Structure 1
Protein backbone atom coordinates (compact mmCIF):
# COMPACT_ATOMS: atom_id res chain seq x y z
CA UNK A 1 0.00 0.00 0.00
CA UNK A 2 2.78 2.46 0.93
CA UNK A 3 4.70 1.72 -2.26
CA UNK A 4 1.57 2.14 -4.37
CA UNK A 5 0.89 5.51 -2.76
CA UNK A 6 4.54 6.50 -3.34
CA UNK A 7 4.15 5.78 -7.07
CA UNK A 8 1.19 8.14 -7.34
CA UNK A 9 2.83 10.83 -5.24
CA UNK A 10 6.04 10.59 -7.26
CA UNK A 11 4.18 10.97 -10.54
CA UNK A 12 2.39 14.02 -9.16
CA UNK A 13 5.63 15.60 -7.93
CA UNK A 14 7.77 14.67 -10.93
CA UNK A 15 10.17 12.39 -9.07
CA UNK A 16 12.92 10.88 -11.17
CA UNK A 17 13.18 7.13 -11.59
CA UNK A 18 16.05 7.21 -9.08
CA UNK A 19 13.97 8.94 -6.40
CA UNK A 20 11.17 6.41 -6.98
CA UNK A 21 13.63 3.56 -6.59
CA UNK A 22 15.20 4.94 -3.42
CA UNK A 23 11.84 5.70 -1.76
CA UNK A 24 10.66 2.15 -2.48
CA UNK A 25 13.87 0.76 -1.02
CA UNK A 26 13.52 2.93 2.10
CA UNK A 27 9.90 1.88 2.61
CA UNK A 28 10.90 -1.76 2.34
CA UNK A 29 13.66 -1.27 4.89
CA UNK A 30 11.26 0.38 7.36
CA UNK A 31 8.03 -1.57 6.91
CA UNK A 32 9.14 -5.13 6.29
CA UNK A 33 8.07 -7.36 9.19
CA UNK A 34 5.64 -4.83 10.67
CA UNK A 35 1.96 -5.49 11.21
CA UNK A 36 -0.63 -3.35 9.44
CA UNK A 37 -1.03 0.03 11.07
CA UNK A 38 2.18 -0.27 13.08
CA UNK A 39 3.72 3.19 12.86
CA UNK A 40 7.37 4.07 12.37
CA UNK A 41 8.80 6.67 14.74
CA UNK A 42 10.65 9.58 13.21
CA UNK A 43 13.67 8.83 15.35
CA UNK A 44 13.75 5.26 14.01
CA UNK A 45 13.35 6.50 10.44
CA UNK A 46 16.35 8.79 10.83
CA UNK A 47 18.42 6.10 12.60
CA UNK A 48 17.76 3.41 9.99
CA UNK A 49 18.14 5.60 6.92
CA UNK A 50 21.04 7.74 8.13
CA UNK A 51 24.16 7.09 6.08
CA UNK A 52 22.33 4.99 3.48
CA UNK A 53 21.75 7.78 0.97
CA UNK A 54 18.04 6.99 0.95
CA UNK A 55 15.64 9.98 0.95
CA UNK A 56 14.37 10.62 4.48
CA UNK A 57 12.11 13.56 3.63
CA UNK A 58 10.22 11.89 0.78
CA UNK A 59 9.92 8.64 2.71
CA UNK A 60 8.57 10.48 5.74
CA UNK A 61 6.09 12.29 3.48
CA UNK A 62 4.68 8.97 2.24
CA UNK A 63 4.45 7.49 5.74
CA UNK A 64 2.84 10.63 7.20
CA UNK A 65 0.19 10.71 4.46
CA UNK A 66 -0.77 7.13 5.36
CA UNK A 67 -0.68 7.83 9.11
CA UNK A 68 2.24 5.44 9.48
CA UNK A 69 4.68 7.98 10.95
CA UNK A 70 4.92 8.84 14.64
CA UNK A 71 6.70 12.17 15.02
CA UNK A 72 8.59 11.76 18.29
CA UNK A 73 11.20 14.41 17.58
CA UNK A 74 11.78 17.35 19.88
CA UNK A 75 10.03 20.33 18.32
CA UNK A 76 12.23 21.76 15.58
CA UNK A 77 11.69 25.32 16.78
CA UNK A 78 13.01 24.47 20.26
CA UNK A 79 16.08 22.82 18.79
CA UNK A 80 16.65 25.90 16.65
CA UNK A 81 16.33 28.20 19.67
CA UNK A 82 18.83 26.18 21.69
CA UNK A 83 21.28 26.01 18.81
CA UNK A 84 21.18 29.69 17.83
CA UNK A 85 21.17 31.20 21.32
CA UNK A 86 24.15 29.04 22.26
CA UNK A 87 26.11 31.13 19.75
CA UNK A 88 25.40 34.38 21.65
CA UNK A 89 27.64 35.98 24.31
CA UNK A 90 27.12 34.42 27.74
CA UNK A 91 25.62 37.50 29.34
CA UNK A 92 22.69 37.74 26.92
CA UNK A 93 22.18 34.12 25.78
CA UNK A 94 19.89 33.17 28.67
CA UNK A 95 17.69 36.25 28.27
CA UNK A 96 17.33 35.84 24.51
CA UNK A 97 16.61 32.11 24.91
CA UNK A 98 13.87 32.83 27.44
CA UNK A 99 12.41 35.50 25.15
CA UNK A 100 12.26 33.19 22.12
CA UNK A 101 10.68 30.39 24.15
CA UNK A 102 8.11 32.87 25.45
CA UNK A 103 7.29 33.89 21.88
CA UNK A 104 7.03 30.23 20.84
CA UNK A 105 4.78 29.10 23.71
CA UNK A 106 2.91 32.29 24.59
CA UNK A 107 1.38 32.75 28.03
CA UNK A 108 -1.96 33.63 29.60
CA UNK A 109 -2.00 37.04 27.90
CA UNK A 110 0.12 36.44 24.80
CA UNK A 111 -0.59 34.15 21.86
CA UNK A 112 2.18 31.84 20.56
CA UNK A 113 4.12 33.18 17.60
CA UNK A 114 5.04 31.27 14.46
CA UNK A 115 8.60 29.98 13.87
CA UNK A 116 8.84 32.47 11.01
CA UNK A 117 8.28 35.34 13.43
CA UNK A 118 10.94 33.94 15.75
CA UNK A 119 13.43 33.73 12.89
CA UNK A 120 12.67 37.30 11.83
CA UNK A 121 12.88 38.75 15.35
CA UNK A 122 16.09 36.89 16.16
CA UNK A 123 17.67 37.95 12.86
CA UNK A 124 17.01 41.59 13.75
CA UNK A 125 18.14 41.34 17.37
CA UNK A 126 21.21 39.12 17.14
CA UNK A 127 23.71 41.64 15.63
CA UNK A 128 22.53 44.29 18.11
CA UNK A 129 22.95 42.00 21.11
CA UNK A 130 26.43 41.05 19.92
CA UNK A 131 27.32 44.72 19.55
CA UNK A 132 26.05 45.53 23.03
CA UNK A 133 28.07 42.65 24.46
CA UNK A 134 31.25 44.58 23.65
CA UNK A 135 30.52 46.98 26.54
CA UNK A 136 27.53 45.51 28.45
CA UNK A 137 27.71 42.18 30.25
CA UNK A 138 23.93 41.70 30.70
CA UNK A 139 20.71 42.76 29.05
CA UNK A 140 19.61 44.61 32.19
CA UNK A 141 22.52 47.03 31.73
CA UNK A 142 21.20 48.32 28.39
CA UNK A 143 20.22 51.99 28.49
CA UNK A 144 17.97 54.12 26.33
CA UNK A 145 21.10 55.65 24.80
CA UNK A 146 22.31 52.18 23.79
CA UNK A 147 19.03 51.65 21.96
CA UNK A 148 19.04 55.02 20.21
CA UNK A 149 22.65 54.49 19.09
CA UNK A 150 21.86 51.20 17.30
CA UNK A 151 18.75 52.52 15.56
CA UNK A 152 20.22 55.88 14.55
CA UNK A 153 21.06 54.86 10.98
CA UNK A 154 18.02 52.70 10.27
CA UNK A 155 15.34 53.69 7.77
CA UNK A 156 12.01 52.51 6.46
CA UNK A 157 11.03 48.89 6.99
CA UNK A 158 14.37 48.03 8.62
CA UNK A 159 13.73 50.65 11.31
CA UNK A 160 10.26 49.24 11.95
CA UNK A 161 11.42 45.61 12.02
CA UNK A 162 14.30 46.22 14.42
CA UNK A 163 12.24 48.33 16.82
CA UNK A 164 9.39 45.83 16.82
CA UNK A 165 11.79 43.01 17.75
CA UNK A 166 13.55 45.07 20.42
CA UNK A 167 10.26 46.18 21.92
CA UNK A 168 9.21 42.53 22.19
CA UNK A 169 12.54 41.56 23.78
CA UNK A 170 12.36 44.22 26.49
CA UNK A 171 8.64 43.67 27.05
CA UNK A 172 9.54 40.08 27.94
CA UNK A 173 12.48 41.28 30.06
CA UNK A 174 10.33 43.67 32.06
CA UNK A 175 7.45 41.20 32.45
CA UNK A 176 9.70 38.43 33.77
CA UNK A 177 12.04 40.73 35.73
CA UNK A 178 15.07 40.21 33.50
CA UNK A 179 15.55 44.01 33.31
CA UNK A 180 14.98 46.76 35.87
CA UNK A 181 13.67 49.36 33.42
CA UNK A 182 12.49 49.16 29.84
CA UNK A 183 14.86 51.26 27.65
CA UNK A 184 12.31 51.11 24.81
CA UNK A 185 9.77 53.13 26.75
CA UNK A 186 8.74 56.22 24.81
CA UNK A 187 10.42 55.12 21.56
CA UNK A 188 7.77 54.84 18.88
CA UNK A 189 7.81 51.87 16.56
CA UNK A 190 6.01 53.72 13.76
CA UNK A 191 7.73 53.58 10.40
CA UNK A 192 10.29 56.27 9.72
CA UNK A 193 10.24 58.02 6.36
CA UNK A 194 12.45 56.08 3.96
CA UNK A 195 15.91 57.45 3.49
CA UNK A 196 16.77 59.21 0.23
CA UNK A 197 17.42 56.86 -2.67
CA UNK A 198 20.47 57.77 -4.73
CA UNK A 199 21.66 56.23 -8.00
CA UNK A 200 23.89 53.21 -7.58
CA UNK A 201 27.58 53.99 -7.65
CA UNK A 202 29.99 52.38 -10.09
CA UNK A 203 31.43 50.34 -7.21
CA UNK A 204 27.95 49.05 -6.28
CA UNK A 205 27.22 48.08 -9.87
CA UNK A 206 30.59 46.34 -10.18
CA UNK A 207 29.90 44.44 -6.95
CA UNK A 208 26.53 43.23 -8.24
CA UNK A 209 28.10 42.10 -11.51
CA UNK A 210 30.90 40.27 -9.71
CA UNK A 211 28.60 38.63 -7.15
CA UNK A 212 25.68 37.48 -9.31
CA UNK A 213 27.49 34.49 -10.80
CA UNK A 214 24.83 31.77 -10.96
CA UNK A 215 22.08 31.76 -13.61
CA UNK A 216 19.44 32.05 -10.87
CA UNK A 217 21.17 35.07 -9.31
CA UNK A 218 21.64 36.77 -12.68
CA UNK A 219 17.97 36.27 -13.51
CA UNK A 220 16.87 37.82 -10.21
CA UNK A 221 19.16 40.81 -10.77
CA UNK A 222 17.96 41.23 -14.36
CA UNK A 223 14.31 41.25 -13.32
CA UNK A 224 14.99 43.81 -10.59
CA UNK A 225 17.32 45.97 -12.70
CA UNK A 226 15.22 46.02 -15.87
CA UNK A 227 11.64 45.64 -14.63
CA UNK A 228 11.96 46.78 -10.98
CA UNK A 229 10.37 43.52 -9.85
CA UNK A 230 9.99 42.78 -6.14
CA UNK A 231 11.44 39.61 -4.66
CA UNK A 232 8.00 38.08 -4.08
CA UNK A 233 7.09 38.50 -7.76
CA UNK A 234 10.38 36.87 -8.78
CA UNK A 235 9.69 33.87 -6.53
CA UNK A 236 6.14 33.39 -7.87
CA UNK A 237 6.91 33.95 -11.58
CA UNK A 238 5.56 30.96 -13.52
CA UNK A 239 6.40 29.36 -16.87
CA UNK A 240 3.01 30.44 -18.22
CA UNK A 241 4.06 34.06 -17.62
CA UNK A 242 6.77 33.80 -20.27
CA UNK A 243 5.94 34.40 -23.94
CA UNK A 244 9.15 34.19 -25.96
CA UNK A 245 7.30 34.17 -29.27
CA UNK A 246 5.65 37.53 -28.58
CA UNK A 247 8.66 38.70 -26.52
CA UNK A 248 6.52 39.45 -23.46
CA UNK A 249 6.64 38.59 -19.77
CA UNK A 250 3.88 38.93 -17.18
CA UNK A 251 5.29 40.24 -13.91
CA UNK A 252 3.06 40.55 -10.88
CA UNK A 253 0.03 40.59 -13.19
CA UNK A 254 1.45 43.23 -15.55
CA UNK A 255 2.38 42.33 -19.15
CA UNK A 256 5.68 43.93 -20.15
CA UNK A 257 8.00 43.73 -23.15
CA UNK A 258 10.76 41.21 -22.53
CA UNK A 259 13.98 43.23 -22.62
CA UNK A 260 17.01 41.64 -24.26
CA UNK A 261 18.82 41.34 -20.91
CA UNK A 262 15.77 39.66 -19.36
CA UNK A 263 15.43 37.30 -22.32
CA UNK A 264 19.10 36.28 -22.14
CA UNK A 265 18.94 35.73 -18.37
CA UNK A 266 15.75 33.68 -18.69
CA UNK A 267 17.23 31.50 -21.44
CA UNK A 268 20.40 30.86 -19.44
CA UNK A 269 18.43 29.93 -16.32
CA UNK A 270 15.91 27.74 -18.18
CA UNK A 271 18.78 25.81 -19.78
CA UNK A 272 20.27 25.28 -16.31
CA UNK A 273 16.84 24.33 -14.93
CA UNK A 274 16.24 21.74 -17.66
CA UNK A 275 19.72 20.26 -17.26
CA UNK A 276 19.36 19.81 -13.51
CA UNK A 277 15.66 18.91 -13.25
CA UNK A 278 14.43 17.71 -16.66
CA UNK A 279 11.39 15.90 -15.22
CA UNK A 280 10.15 18.50 -12.75
CA UNK A 281 6.45 19.33 -12.91
CA UNK A 282 6.87 22.55 -10.96
CA UNK A 283 5.52 25.44 -13.06
CA UNK A 284 7.47 28.15 -11.23
CA UNK A 285 10.36 29.58 -13.22
CA UNK A 286 12.75 29.51 -10.27
CA UNK A 287 13.07 26.10 -8.64
CA UNK A 288 15.53 24.67 -6.17
CA UNK A 289 16.65 21.20 -5.19
CA UNK A 290 13.73 21.07 -2.75
CA UNK A 291 10.95 22.62 -4.85
CA UNK A 292 11.85 20.78 -8.06
CA UNK A 293 10.20 17.70 -6.51
CA UNK A 294 7.07 19.64 -5.55
CA UNK A 295 4.86 22.37 -6.94
CA UNK A 296 5.49 25.40 -4.70
CA UNK A 297 7.73 28.45 -5.20
CA UNK A 298 11.25 28.74 -3.85
CA UNK A 299 11.50 30.25 -0.38
CA UNK A 300 12.49 33.82 0.39
CA UNK A 301 15.63 32.28 1.90
CA UNK A 302 16.55 30.94 -1.56
CA UNK A 303 16.80 34.47 -2.94
CA UNK A 304 18.62 35.69 0.15
CA UNK A 305 21.12 32.86 -0.21
CA UNK A 306 21.68 33.68 -3.89
CA UNK A 307 22.16 37.42 -3.42
CA UNK A 308 21.65 39.11 -0.03
CA UNK A 309 24.07 36.74 1.68
CA UNK A 310 26.74 38.11 -0.65
CA UNK A 311 25.87 41.76 -0.13
CA UNK A 312 23.54 42.34 -3.09
CA UNK A 313 20.23 44.01 -2.22
CA UNK A 314 17.45 43.42 -4.71
CA UNK A 315 15.60 46.36 -3.16
CA UNK A 316 18.61 48.59 -3.92
CA UNK A 317 18.77 47.37 -7.53
CA UNK A 318 15.02 47.83 -7.94
CA UNK A 319 15.07 51.35 -6.45
CA UNK A 320 17.91 52.31 -8.78
CA UNK A 321 15.82 51.17 -11.75
CA UNK A 322 12.80 53.26 -10.71
CA UNK A 323 14.97 56.31 -10.10
CA UNK A 324 16.72 55.82 -13.43
CA UNK A 325 13.35 55.76 -15.20
CA UNK A 326 12.31 58.94 -13.37
CA UNK A 327 15.51 60.69 -14.46
CA UNK A 328 15.10 59.54 -18.07
CA UNK A 329 11.43 60.45 -18.49
CA UNK A 330 11.11 63.89 -16.89
CA UNK A 331 10.16 62.73 -13.38
CA UNK A 332 6.51 61.99 -14.16
CA UNK A 333 4.98 60.21 -11.13
CA UNK A 334 1.97 58.93 -13.13
CA UNK A 335 4.34 57.25 -15.58
CA UNK A 336 6.31 55.63 -12.75
CA UNK A 337 3.15 54.39 -11.00
CA UNK A 338 1.84 52.90 -14.25
CA UNK A 339 4.89 50.99 -15.43
CA UNK A 340 6.20 49.82 -12.05
CA UNK A 341 2.88 49.28 -10.23
CA UNK A 342 3.95 51.38 -7.26
CA UNK A 343 1.79 53.58 -5.06
CA UNK A 344 1.19 57.24 -5.91
CA UNK A 345 3.05 58.28 -2.76
CA UNK A 346 6.12 56.26 -3.70
CA UNK A 347 5.98 57.48 -7.31
CA UNK A 348 5.84 61.11 -6.15
CA UNK A 349 8.81 60.54 -3.83
CA UNK A 350 10.92 59.21 -6.71
CA UNK A 351 9.75 62.03 -8.99
CA UNK A 352 10.65 64.75 -6.45
CA UNK A 353 14.09 63.24 -5.93
CA UNK A 354 14.64 62.94 -9.69
CA UNK A 355 13.72 66.60 -10.23
CA UNK A 356 16.14 67.65 -7.49
CA UNK A 357 18.94 65.61 -9.05
CA UNK A 358 18.19 67.03 -12.51
CA UNK A 359 18.22 70.58 -11.12
CA UNK A 360 21.50 69.99 -9.31
CA UNK A 361 23.01 68.59 -12.50
CA UNK A 362 21.79 71.59 -14.50
CA UNK A 363 23.25 74.04 -11.97
CA UNK A 364 26.53 72.16 -12.04
CA UNK A 365 26.72 72.43 -15.83
CA UNK A 366 26.01 76.18 -15.72
CA UNK A 367 28.87 76.72 -13.31
Structure 2
Protein backbone atom coordinates (compact mmCIF):
# COMPACT_ATOMS: atom_id res chain seq x y z
CA UNK A 1 0.00 0.00 0.00
CA UNK A 2 1.31 3.43 -0.92
CA UNK A 3 0.16 6.39 1.15
CA UNK A 4 0.85 9.88 0.04
CA UNK A 5 1.44 12.64 2.57
CA UNK A 6 -1.20 15.35 2.51
CA UNK A 7 -0.21 18.47 0.61
CA UNK A 8 -0.68 21.69 2.54
CA UNK A 9 -2.60 24.19 0.48
CA UNK A 10 -1.50 27.79 1.07
CA UNK A 11 -4.25 30.07 2.31
CA UNK A 12 -4.64 33.74 1.64
CA UNK A 13 -4.29 36.25 4.43
CA UNK A 14 -7.50 38.27 4.78
CA UNK A 15 -7.09 41.68 3.20
CA UNK A 16 -8.16 43.45 6.38
CA UNK A 17 -5.08 41.96 8.11
CA UNK A 18 -2.79 43.16 5.30
CA UNK A 19 -4.19 46.67 5.11
CA UNK A 20 -1.98 49.19 6.86
CA UNK A 21 0.95 46.84 7.54
CA UNK A 22 3.53 49.45 6.55
CA UNK A 23 1.96 51.93 8.95
CA UNK A 24 2.64 49.49 11.80
CA UNK A 25 6.36 49.34 11.03
CA UNK A 26 8.41 52.23 12.43
CA UNK A 27 11.82 52.22 10.73
CA UNK A 28 13.09 52.38 7.16
CA UNK A 29 14.98 49.09 7.55
CA UNK A 30 11.89 47.17 8.66
CA UNK A 31 9.69 48.81 6.00
CA UNK A 32 12.19 47.77 3.32
CA UNK A 33 12.38 44.21 4.68
CA UNK A 34 8.57 44.01 4.82
CA UNK A 35 8.21 45.14 1.20
CA UNK A 36 10.89 42.72 -0.02
CA UNK A 37 9.14 39.84 1.75
CA UNK A 38 5.47 40.75 1.20
CA UNK A 39 5.64 42.22 -2.32
CA UNK A 40 8.65 40.56 -3.94
CA UNK A 41 8.34 37.25 -2.02
CA UNK A 42 12.00 37.27 -1.00
CA UNK A 43 12.76 34.87 1.85
CA UNK A 44 13.96 36.49 5.11
CA UNK A 45 17.31 34.68 4.89
CA UNK A 46 17.78 36.08 1.38
CA UNK A 47 16.83 39.58 2.58
CA UNK A 48 19.45 39.31 5.30
CA UNK A 49 22.10 38.24 2.76
CA UNK A 50 21.54 41.00 0.17
CA UNK A 51 24.82 42.83 -0.33
CA UNK A 52 25.13 46.48 -1.23
CA UNK A 53 26.67 45.52 -4.56
CA UNK A 54 23.59 43.37 -5.35
CA UNK A 55 21.61 46.58 -5.67
CA UNK A 56 21.68 48.61 -8.88
CA UNK A 57 19.65 51.70 -8.08
CA UNK A 58 20.09 53.22 -11.56
CA UNK A 59 18.31 50.25 -13.20
CA UNK A 60 16.09 49.44 -10.22
CA UNK A 61 17.34 45.86 -10.07
CA UNK A 62 18.22 43.75 -7.09
CA UNK A 63 20.11 40.47 -7.32
CA UNK A 64 19.02 37.70 -4.96
CA UNK A 65 21.85 35.24 -4.49
CA UNK A 66 20.82 31.59 -4.29
CA UNK A 67 23.39 28.92 -3.49
CA UNK A 68 23.48 26.03 -5.97
CA UNK A 69 21.04 27.83 -8.28
CA UNK A 70 21.13 30.76 -10.65
CA UNK A 71 20.74 34.12 -8.99
CA UNK A 72 17.33 35.73 -9.26
CA UNK A 73 16.91 39.34 -10.35
CA UNK A 74 14.12 41.47 -8.92
CA UNK A 75 12.91 44.65 -10.62
CA UNK A 76 12.06 47.13 -7.89
CA UNK A 77 9.31 49.68 -8.36
CA UNK A 78 9.56 53.37 -7.42
CA UNK A 79 8.13 52.82 -3.96
CA UNK A 80 10.64 50.09 -3.13
CA UNK A 81 13.48 52.20 -4.50
CA UNK A 82 12.38 55.08 -2.28
CA UNK A 83 12.45 52.72 0.73
CA UNK A 84 15.96 51.60 -0.29
CA UNK A 85 17.06 55.22 -0.49
CA UNK A 86 15.49 56.05 2.88
CA UNK A 87 17.25 53.10 4.50
CA UNK A 88 20.62 53.90 2.92
CA UNK A 89 20.36 57.52 4.09
CA UNK A 90 19.43 56.39 7.61
CA UNK A 91 22.18 53.77 7.62
CA UNK A 92 24.81 56.30 6.54
CA UNK A 93 23.55 58.86 9.04
CA UNK A 94 23.71 56.36 11.93
CA UNK A 95 26.94 54.59 10.93
CA UNK A 96 28.90 56.77 8.47
CA UNK A 97 32.09 54.71 8.81
CA UNK A 98 30.56 51.26 8.40
CA UNK A 99 32.16 48.98 5.84
CA UNK A 100 29.72 46.11 6.32
CA UNK A 101 28.88 44.92 2.78
CA UNK A 102 25.29 43.91 3.55
CA UNK A 103 22.29 46.08 2.75
CA UNK A 104 20.50 45.29 5.99
CA UNK A 105 22.60 45.77 9.11
CA UNK A 106 21.92 45.98 12.81
CA UNK A 107 23.71 47.82 15.60
CA UNK A 108 25.53 44.56 16.34
CA UNK A 109 26.61 43.66 12.80
CA UNK A 110 27.30 47.11 11.41
CA UNK A 111 30.72 47.58 13.00
CA UNK A 112 31.57 43.92 13.67
CA UNK A 113 35.10 43.00 12.61
CA UNK A 114 33.91 39.95 10.65
CA UNK A 115 31.23 42.00 8.81
CA UNK A 116 28.48 39.38 9.15
CA UNK A 117 24.98 39.49 7.74
CA UNK A 118 22.13 39.98 10.17
CA UNK A 119 20.42 36.84 11.35
CA UNK A 120 16.82 36.16 10.42
CA UNK A 121 15.99 36.63 14.10
CA UNK A 122 16.54 40.32 13.28
CA UNK A 123 13.12 40.22 11.60
CA UNK A 124 11.38 38.73 14.64
CA UNK A 125 10.44 42.18 15.93
CA UNK A 126 8.87 42.87 12.55
CA UNK A 127 6.76 39.73 12.88
CA UNK A 128 5.80 40.59 16.44
CA UNK A 129 4.75 44.09 15.42
CA UNK A 130 2.57 43.12 12.43
CA UNK A 131 1.34 39.75 13.75
CA UNK A 132 2.11 37.85 10.54
CA UNK A 133 5.26 35.82 9.96
CA UNK A 134 7.38 36.14 6.84
CA UNK A 135 6.44 32.71 5.49
CA UNK A 136 2.76 33.61 5.58
CA UNK A 137 3.43 36.93 3.84
CA UNK A 138 5.48 35.24 1.13
CA UNK A 139 2.89 32.51 0.57
CA UNK A 140 0.12 35.09 0.39
CA UNK A 141 2.02 37.04 -2.27
CA UNK A 142 2.66 33.93 -4.36
CA UNK A 143 -0.96 32.85 -4.06
CA UNK A 144 -2.19 36.33 -4.95
CA UNK A 145 -0.08 36.39 -8.12
CA UNK A 146 -1.19 32.85 -9.00
CA UNK A 147 -4.82 33.98 -8.74
CA UNK A 148 -4.07 37.01 -10.87
CA UNK A 149 -2.23 35.29 -13.71
CA UNK A 150 -2.74 31.51 -13.40
CA UNK A 151 0.54 31.25 -15.28
CA UNK A 152 3.22 29.12 -13.59
CA UNK A 153 5.91 30.41 -15.95
CA UNK A 154 5.16 33.98 -14.94
CA UNK A 155 5.41 32.96 -11.29
CA UNK A 156 8.75 31.29 -11.95
CA UNK A 157 10.15 34.37 -13.67
CA UNK A 158 8.71 36.89 -11.26
CA UNK A 159 9.71 35.16 -8.03
CA UNK A 160 12.48 32.79 -9.09
CA UNK A 161 10.63 29.73 -7.83
CA UNK A 162 10.76 26.19 -9.20
CA UNK A 163 8.18 24.79 -11.60
CA UNK A 164 6.92 22.47 -8.86
CA UNK A 165 6.30 25.41 -6.51
CA UNK A 166 4.68 27.51 -9.26
CA UNK A 167 2.27 24.72 -10.18
CA UNK A 168 1.51 24.14 -6.49
CA UNK A 169 0.37 27.77 -6.16
CA UNK A 170 -1.61 27.78 -9.41
CA UNK A 171 -3.30 24.57 -8.28
CA UNK A 172 -4.13 26.16 -4.92
CA UNK A 173 -5.54 29.24 -6.68
CA UNK A 174 -7.58 27.25 -9.22
CA UNK A 175 -8.31 23.78 -7.81
CA UNK A 176 -11.22 23.32 -10.23
CA UNK A 177 -8.84 23.41 -13.21
CA UNK A 178 -6.94 20.36 -12.02
CA UNK A 179 -8.47 16.94 -12.18
CA UNK A 180 -7.69 14.54 -9.42
CA UNK A 181 -5.47 11.70 -10.50
CA UNK A 182 -7.28 8.53 -9.26
CA UNK A 183 -3.93 6.83 -8.60
CA UNK A 184 -2.98 9.64 -6.20
CA UNK A 185 -6.33 9.76 -4.34
TM > 0.5 between the two? yes
Asked whether the 8 Å contact 1:208–1:312 carries over to 2, the reply is no
SS of the residue 1:348 aligns to: helix
- Report the Cα offset of residue 284 of structure 1: 0.2
- Structure 1 residue aligned with 2:58: 245
- Report the Cα offset of residue 296 of structure 1: 0.7
- Report the Cα offset of residue 317 of structure 1: 1.6
> 1:276 and 2:89 equivalent?
no
- Which of 140, 157, 179 is matched with 1:338 structurally? 157
Q: So what's the TM-score if we normalise by structure 1?
A: 0.42
Segments of 5+ residues of structure 2 without an aligned counterpart are 66-70, 178-185
Structure richer in helix, relative to its length: 1
Alignment of 1:15-26 (within 5 A): none
> 1:354 and 2:173 equivalent?
yes
SS of the residue 1:292 aligns to: coil
- Structure 1 residue aligned with 2:183: none
- Report the Cα offset of residue 237 of structure 1: 0.4
Root mean square deviation, CA, Å: 2.2
Shift of the 213–312 alpha-carbon distance from structure 1 to 2, 3 Å rule, reads farther
Q: So what's the TM-score if we normalise by structure 2?
A: 0.80
SS of the residue 1:227 aligns to: coil
- Structure 1 residue aligned with 2:17: 204
Shift of the 327–292 alpha-carbon distance from structure 1 to 2, 3 Å rule, reads same
Q: Which string of whole-angstrom CA distances, capped at 9 and with x for unpartnered residues, describes residues 131-187 of structure 1?
A: xxxxxxxxxxxxxxxxxxxxxxxxxxxxxxxxxxxxxxxxxxxxxxxxxxxxxxxxx
**CA–CA distance in structure 2, aligned partners of residues 206 and 299 of structure 1:** 27
- Structure 2 residue aligned with 1:327: 147
Deviating above 4 A after TM superposition, structure 1's stretches of 4 or more consecutive aligned residues are none
Shift of the 335–203 alpha-carbon distance from structure 1 to 2, 3 Å rule, reads same
Asked whether the 8 Å contact 2:45–2:119 carries over to 1, the reply is no
Q: How many residues align?
A: 166
- Structure 2 residue aligned with 1:301: 121
- Structure 2 residue aligned with 1:91: none
- Structure 1 residue aligned with 2:136: 316
- Report the Cα offset of residue 203 of structure 1: 2.2
Segments of 5+ residues of structure 1 without an aligned counterpart are 1-190, 359-367
**CA–CA distance in structure 1, aligned partners of residues 22 and 99 of structure 2:** 31
Q: Which string of whole-angstrom CA distances, capped at 9 and with x for unpartnered residues, describes residues 76-127 of structure 1?
A: xxxxxxxxxxxxxxxxxxxxxxxxxxxxxxxxxxxxxxxxxxxxxxxxxxxx
Alignment of 1:133-282 (within 5 A): 193-194=7-8, 196-206=9-19, 208-252=21-65, 253-282=71-100
Asked whether the 8 Å contact 1:282–1:292 carries over to 2, the reply is yes
Shift of the 326–342 alpha-carbon distance from structure 1 to 2, 3 Å rule, reads same
Asked whether the 8 Å contact 1:226–1:259 carries over to 2, the reply is no
- Structure 1 residue aligned with 2:182: none
Shift of the 192–273 alpha-carbon distance from structure 1 to 2, 3 Å rule, reads farther
**CA–CA distance in structure 1, aligned partners of residues 101 and 109 of structure 2:** 10
Highest CA radius of gyration, 1 or 2?
A: 1
